[in-house]
Structure 1
Amino acid sequence: MSHVATLISNPAEPAVDAALLATVTRLLPDAGEAIALKPGVAADIPFNGSGSADIATLTAALREALVGQPVDLFVQKADGRRKRLLLADMDSTMIGQECIDELAAELGLKEQIAAITERAMRGEIEFEPALRERVGALKGLPVVTIERVIAQRITLTPGGRTLIQTMKANGARCALVSGGFTHFTNAIANMIGFDENHANTLETDGEMLSGTVQEPILGQDAKRSHLHRLTRELGLGAQETMAVGDGANDLAMICDAGLGVAYHAKPAVAAQAAARIDHGDLTALLYLQGYGEADFCMA
């Protein structure tokens, strides 16, 4: 079979049942038997597809048939699914929060700062000046506060550690690239198991944040640059790479990766990414690559 349609639901709310699989199978040309990647949660349906335009039309028809169902769908060629490089955003992707908003909460400024963050992530305002403005509001916050915020306010996104450990066990390199801050990425990368991490550096004045960020700011272009750098260093083809994120500053790497995934993303990002995960957790990125639950590394 030349192509495969993958259906994914949230492991906490399994929705890929026999009736849904039958509905999708009927719409696929020359479809084979569904292959359970995790019963009730994810499945592949192989089929024989044709041109990219036809695949786009087919994908639209399948999504129309799934309206109202808490299920994600992606159609791709069967060959070359497994990736050897993953670049992942941190805030609202590998973790459930926006770190700068949680720091602002320590000063009673969360609502004000979160509003700016939301506009920047939607692409309504430029990322770099928005970051400088938000960091400026943090001036005077004790640096030791960051450790407490990580411990008390930050939660890992379900499936994230399994995603990274499974890909690494299968020879992939995993990089955390964030428009946030190294104080957070160093800790989060260690918790999850990333091979490397890159982010912005908060400047300090003694034991307090100075309200400034080290230039140049790591934004959309820098994330894309890290993707291309690692692709070259590892001697990979573009099709062997994957990038995942949720905000406008992730779009460049998402669009340049062999498989770009919008994860519970802002509308503008979801509209432009090749794949979108609106319901599943981060193990969805493993199902997209054809991994089944039996292949997962849980350590």
Structure 2
Amino acid sequence: MTQPSDSESPGPDPTGGRLILVGTPIGNLGDASPRMRHAIETADVIAAEDTRRFLSLAQRLNLTHTNRVVSVFDHNEGHRAPELVDLIAAGETVVLLSDAGMPAVSDPGYRVVRACAEAGLAISSTPGPSAVLMALAVSGLPSDRFSFEGFLPRKSGQRKSLLEELKAEKRTMVFFESPHRIVDAMDDFAEVIGDDRPMSISRELTKTYEETLRGTVGSLRELAAEGLRGELTLVLAGAAEVETAPEDHLGEVSALVDAGVRAKEAAGQVAKRFGLSKRDVYEAWLHRE
């Protein structure tokens, strides 16, 4: 791994137009880096998820800037992206940031990044705090391989469907959830995943009342029922390695076939879920007794 530079400089001024993704504090203003400050103060355009929140952040950090500030949020990012591409192509530096954390990670930004990449424009990042990585690091769960699943679906039926898909996932998983839905979400985790799977819930990360609760789905479900406040990041251990054979899952194949799914496709879905060979599952189903 490349060793970090000893230079205390925020980095050289970019030459020509470019897009810079800038990570902002997720709670503690002390996490604002010199590079973040430099990027914001020297950019030509600030593309912010919420312009009012950005201006409030700039005021609290005593940031001085004369940049043009535009909004980039979920519902306008599609048509805002070409505008930003044109500005960058004309030689301007555009800083893209979300309300907290890294843009484009469960926040607006990836459409702008994709448009710039397709246009062959320069893209760089000034990294900053990430609730995903922080919650994973303090969870006490395996972190060598993980997946980030974003916000859980709002509706229970969709939430359960997602958890069914992830039930056999071997990697540690990270989710976001609202305190208003955490009780219902934990009920669904218990029903689909089971009570015994190791899990953690982090809240108020980097803030005064930061807390990480560690236990199992069942024990954390009880704590959630007592009420949890603040933004919540859930970390769920992956499924334990269990040796399984195609013959063990013929019931799942038959259920899909009975529901109208073609046998070969049903075998493929079951094979993918349990890490088996599609051919072996299909052959086992064809030769079932």
TM-score, scaled relative to structure 2: 0.26
Higher relative contact order (CA 8 A, sep 6+): 1
Q: Which has the larger radius of gyration?
A: 2
